[in-house]
Amino acid sequence: MKKNYGVNTKLIRGGLNRTPFRETSEPLFLTSGFVYDSAEQAEKIFKGVKKGFQYSRYSNPTVEIFEKRLALLDGSEACFATASGMSAVFFSLMSQLKSGDHIISSSALFGSCKEIIKNILPRYGIEITFIDGKQTEEWKKNIKKNTKIFFFETPSNPLLELIDIKKVCQIAKKNKITTVVDNIFASPVLQQPVKLGADIIVYSGTKHIDGQGRVLGGAILGSNKFKENILKPYLKHTGPSISPFNAWVLLKGLETIKIRVETQSKNTLILANFLNKHKKIEKVFYPYLKNFSQYKLAKSQQRAGGTVLSFKIKGNKKDAFKFINKLEIFDISNNLGDTKSIVTHPTTTTHRILKEQERLSLGITDNLIRLSIGLEDVEDLKNDLIQALK
């Protein structure tokens, strides 16, 4: 694949590896293992002195097409696909950390990401510090001798808080700290943290990459050196590998991700502007709204505001539930980035795991509602919101 090809060409043709049958679509290799001509050949392949697949826990031809294609979009050198977004988050951290290390994380995180950092990592003797990641100087202030990783989501789930990727990565680089960025909300279409200095990027393929609610999947991206020396040896033996079938679905999803995310983002901005003026809404959170507190930063690091918005309805949990139950097109669910529009009540679903005080300190109140905007006609979605708000 020529480096100067445009992004659409890369998404349609990146990583293509046709079999002798010369199929048009990408081949799906549903196989756990591979067969060798001789014991000598097997020995060489397992030793790594001859190229060849060993076992689908390590790699698989279909998975490899997905990995190459995603790396082309993200801008990172290398990619390792995983079974889910959470396995990508967990293994991106665990493959690097050891007892006695310290990690600094933004506190505005998806519930399961918070659970890993707050409750799982300390079991292995890893020190943690949560900060308000929006305050760039907090990252610098909290560095210790043993700080190994900075971790953050931007935009965050569900309040769309942003982190200044470039500035935080500069602080990390100066202090020989690795940055791990959860780029799930923006997707690689709207934001490429590696170009702003980030080292490792994680994705949930379940979100925009599939974008059609079919499979779970994830990916960890970084340098070739990171993949070969740190990630691969750890993942080979611990096994969070993706099913080749799921990888095939995700690589076909990549073919349309750009047009889907761009159109969904346009729809989301229209609906955010509409809700922003509605008398029954207390506050709307969307990075590309002109009155969003981090609008300038959003404009400088994201190509659009994204496919998710959140808002606080005037009232309490009862009012939020009443509104959600009245929606006719939006599905009540917890996923996002789907072509089908989805409504979520974070307090009782995605962020249920957080203690009440912690949730409230992050601004995740009972009247908060998250919308993931799909590809339906935006006028229909607007009318659905209007009738439910009535």
Ligand X SMILES: Cc1ncc(COP(=O)(O)O)c(C=O)c1O
How far is the CA of 275 from the CAs of 8, 26, 38, 179, 369, in angstroms?
33, 42, 66, 35, 12
Please say which residue, 217 or 244, places its beta carbon nearer to ligand X: 217
Which DSSP symbol is given to 178? E
Q: Which of 26, 161, 182, 366 binds ligand X (CB under 6 A)?
A: 182
Please say which residue, 90 or 323, places its beta carbon nearer to ligand X: 90
The stretch among 52-60, 69-77, 117-125, 182-190 that binds ligand X (CB under 6 A) is 182-190
- Check binding of 343 to ligand X (CB under 6 A): no
The stretch among 180-188, 266-274, 279-287, 370-378 that binds ligand X (CB under 6 A) is 180-188
- Check binding of 364 to ligand X (CB under 6 A): no
Using CB under 6 A, which residues numbered 113 to 142 contact ligand X? 113
- Check binding of 86 to ligand X (CB under 6 A): yes
The stretch among 38-46, 78-86, 122-130, 274-282 that binds ligand X (CB under 6 A) is 78-86
CA distance linking residue 335 with residue 333, whole number of Å: 6
SS3 labels along 85-121: HHHHHHHHHHCCCCCCCEEEEECCCCHHHHHHHHHHH
Contact present, 124 and 244 (Cβ < 8 Å): no
Contact present, 81 and 205 (Cβ < 8 Å): yes
CB atoms within 10 A of CB 246: 23
Residue 237 CB-half CA count within 13 A: 6
Signed CA dihedral, 256, 290, 373, 105: sign only: positive
Cβ-based neighbours of 23, under 8 Å, separated by 6 or more: none
The stretch among 41-49, 79-87, 132-140, 171-179 that binds ligand X (CB under 6 A) is 79-87
For the CB of residue 153, give the shortest distance to ligand X in the complex, in Å: 5
- Check binding of 206 to ligand X (CB under 6 A): yes
CA distance linking residue 48 with residue 59, whole number of Å: 13
For the CB of residue 156, give the shortest distance to ligand X in the complex, in Å: 7
Cβ-based neighbours of 51, under 8 Å, separated by 6 or more: 45
- Check binding of 204 to ligand X (CB under 6 A): yes
- Check binding of 347 to ligand X (CB under 6 A): no
For the CB of residue 233, give the shortest distance to ligand X in the complex, in Å: 23
Residue whose tokens read 């789930």: 157
Please say which residue, 281 or 346, places its beta carbon nearer to ligand X: 346
- Check binding of 153 to ligand X (CB under 6 A): yes
For the CB of residue 196, give the shortest distance to ligand X in the complex, in Å: 18
Three-state DSSP class for residue 137: helix
- Check binding of 56 to ligand X (CB under 6 A): no
**Taking CB positions, which residue lies at the least distance from ligand X?**
85
Contact present, 222 and 80 (Cβ < 8 Å): no
Using CB under 6 A, which residues numbered 223 to 282 contact ligand X? none
- Check binding of 346 to ligand X (CB under 6 A): no
State the residues that interact with ligand X by CB under 6 A: 84-86, 89, 110, 113, 153, 157, 182, 184-185, 204, 206, 216, 218
